[in-house]
Homo-oligomer: A and B are copies of this chain.
Amino acid sequence: MDHDMFESSAAAYAYPLLIKHLLHTPLAHAPDQEIVYRGETRLTYRAMRERIARLANGLTRHGAVMGSTVAVMDWDSHRYLECYFAIPMMGAVLQTVNVRLSPAEIAYTINHAGAQILLVHSDFLPVIDAIRDQLDTVQTFILIDESTEAGAHAIPFADEYEGMLAASETGYDFPDFDENTRATTFYTTGTTGLPKGVYFSHRQLVLHTITGMAALASPASGQRFHRGDVYMPITPMFHVHAWGMPYIATLLGVKQVYPGRYVPERLMKLVRDEGVTFSHCVGTILHMLLECEDAKAVDLSRWKVVIGGGALPHGLARAALDRGIDIFAGYGMSETCPLLSLAQIKPGEEPLDIDEQVRVRCKTGLPLPLVDLRIVDDEGRDAAHDGRASGEIVVRTPWLTQGYWKNAEASAQLWDGGYLHTQDIGSIDPQGYLQITDRLKDVIKSGGEWVSSLEIESLISLHPGVSEVAVIGIKDEKWGERPVALVVLKAQASVSEDEIRHHVMAFSESGKISKYAVPRIVKIVDSLDKTSVGKLNKKRLREAFAASLEGKATA
Contact = CB atoms under 8 A, between A and B. Distances in A.
A379 B418 CA distance: 50
A214 B432 CA distance: 22
B5 A181 contact: yes
A251 B402 contact: no
Interface string A206-226: 110011011001111100001
A160 B441 CA distance: 55
B6 A182 contact: yes
A6 B180 contact: yes
Nearest to A27: B432
A21 B373 CA distance: 11
Contacts of A181: 2, 5-6
A348 B30 CA distance: 12
Interface stretch (A10-18, A326-334, A448-456, A518-526): A10-18
A402 B6 contact: yes
Nearest to A344: B227
A159 to B, nearest CB: 26
Contact of A228 (B214, B228, B347, B419): B347
Given A1-B178, A67-B5, A403-B8, A218 B220 contact: no
Interface string A278-306: 00000000000000000000000000000
Contacts of A416: 11
Interface string A367-410: 11111110000000000000000000000111010110110100
Interface in A1-45: 1-2, 4-15, 17, 21-22, 24-25, 28-31
Contacts of A417: 11
A228 B348 contact: yes
Contact of A24 (B10, B371, B418): B371
Interface in A143-177: none
Contact of A1 (B67, B180, B371, B403): B180
Interface SS of chain A: helix, strand, loop or mixed?
Answer: loop
A415 interface: yes
Nearest to A10: B412
Contacts of A418: 11-13
A411 interface: yes
Interface-centre pick from A217, A347, A400 (highest chain B CB count, 10 A): A217
A428 B8 CA distance: 30
Interface string A417-457: 11110000000100010000000000000000000000000
A66 to B, nearest CB: 9
Contact of A252 (B218, B221, B414): B218
Given A24-B371, A367-B25, A432-B28, A412 B2 contact: no
Contacts of A25: 366-371
A415 B10 CA distance: 9
A346 interface: yes
A201 interface: yes
Contacts of A346: 29-30, 227
Contacts of A405: 7
B11 A370 contact: no
B372 A21 contact: yes
Contacts of A432: 28-31
8 tightest A-B contacts by CB?
Answer: A220-B228, A228-B347, A9-B403, A9-B411, A11-B415, A217-B217, A8-B402, A214-B214
15 contacts: A6-B180, A12-B400, A12-B420, A14-B402, A15-B397, A17-B398, A25-B369, A28-B428, A29-B367, A210-B211, A210-B370, A213-B218, A214-B214, A220-B226, A227-B347
